[in-house]
Amino acid sequence: MRATPFPNGLLESALRLPETQVRLILLVARNTLGYTAGPGERRAAVRLSHHQIGREIDRSSTAISGAIDGLVVRGLLEVTDGAGRPLTTGFARRALRAPLWFRFPSSMVEVVGTTTGETT
């Protein structure tokens, strides 16, 4: 059986969140912390489109946008463009019109030797 490491601080925060936000956290955790990028290394970020997120967590586009906003405002999730520039507002994320990169703030996870990766 495979397992995904899940930081305690992130777990404690997730216990108090709405369901769609929890589903999004779990999706990002599975696609970052759940993948090795080499011996002792985990992915730091994952590229996901709005459509992929909706398919994986079975929620509407409106619910997904709200969940992303809520997690970014709470400091539990960071969203960037392909060049690593932060997208802190819904307007900035919508204006990009491309898949977004998701990662957890380094203060929430203690992962040594992480690297970026993407899903297909």
> What pLDDT score was predicted for residue 9?
87
Walk along the chain (120 residues) and give the pLDDT tens digit of each residue: 678 888 888 889 999 999 999 999 999 999 998 887 777 778 889 999 999 999 999 999 999 999 999 999 999 999 999 999 999 999 999 898 888 999 999 888 764 444 455 443
- Candidates 1.10.10.10, 3.40.50.1000, 3.40.47.10, 3.20.20.80; correct CATH number of 8-106? 1.10.10.10
Find tokens 């696609």 and name the residue: 31
Burial of 81 (0-12, 13-18, 19+ CB in 10 A): middle
Contact 111, 38 (CB under 8 A): no
Contact 21, 67 (CB under 8 A): yes
Q: Comparing C-alpha atoms, which of 119, 106, 87 is closest to residue 44?
A: 106
Domain ranges of the chain: 8-106
> What pLDDT score was predicted for residue 1?
63
